[in-house]
Structure 1
Amino acid sequence: MSIAEERIERLHGLAREAATEGEFDRSREYVRLARRIAERNRCGLPKSFQRSTCDACDVYLRPGQNARVRVHRGRVIVRCHDCGATERYPFD
């Protein structure tokens, strides 16, 4: 595991903790920093990180707090309450 990947994992944990505490602006900054590190070092973001963040506004999604999660026709549908963006994933 490279230093960049370790840093991304650490920022993922910090974003999760900040969102749990209700500090969504702080979690947004952690997500933005992790995405910049992944871009700069040309390494991908983990699937768990991608699916728990909003691509449009970079906020860490917490179901029931700032995200709505539904299962419909074999897909998981996640809608961000902050910006209204919707993501659909196949049901794993």
Structure 2
Amino acid sequence: MSIASERIERLSELAREAAAEGNHDRARRYVRRARRIAERNRLSLPRQFVRYTCDRCDAYLRPGANARVRLRTGHVVVTCDCGEQDRYPYDGQ
């Protein structure tokens, strides 16, 4: 595992902790920094990190706090407070 990917993992953990404490600005800084490191090193972000962050406002999403999660036929819809929606497929049978 490279130094950059370890750093991204650590920033993801820090963003989750900061969001849990209610410090959303700090969580945004961690998310932006992790994305920047991934861009510079041409790495893909971990799936969990991508699913729990907003592409528009860089917020770390917490369902029920600053994100709404709804199940539709064949996909999950996650809506951030800023209005951005992400859809992820799932097999709901």
What TM-score do you get using the length of structure 1 for normalisation?
Answer: 0.97
CA RMSD of aligned residues (A): 0.7
For 1:31, the aligned partner's letter is V
Q: Per-residue deviation at 1:91?
A: 1.3
TM-score, normalized by length of structure 2? Answer: 0.96
Unaligned runs of 5+ in 1: none
Q: How many residues align?
A: 91
What code does the residue aligned with 2:14 have? Answer: L
Structure 2 spans left out of the alignment, 5+ residues: none
Q: What residue number does 2:83 align with? A: 84
Report the Cα distance in structure 2 between the residues aligned to 1:63 and 1:22, rounded to whole angstroms. Answer: 13
Secondary structure (helix, strand or coil) at the match of 1:25 reads helix
- The Cα shift of 1:74 comes to 1.3
Question: What is the identity percentage for the equivalent residue pairs of Structure 1 and Structure 2?
Answer: 68
Please name the residue that 1:7 is paired with: 7
User: Any idea what SS the aligned residue of 1:18 has?
Assistant: helix
How does 1:35-74 map onto structure 2 within 5 Å? 35-74=35-74
In 2, Cα distance between the equivalents of 1:25 and 1:78? 20
1:52 CA displacement:
0.3
Over residues 20-79 of structure 1, what are the superposed CA-to-partner deviations in whole Å (9 max), with x where a residue is unaligned?
001111000000000000000001100110000000000000000000001101101000
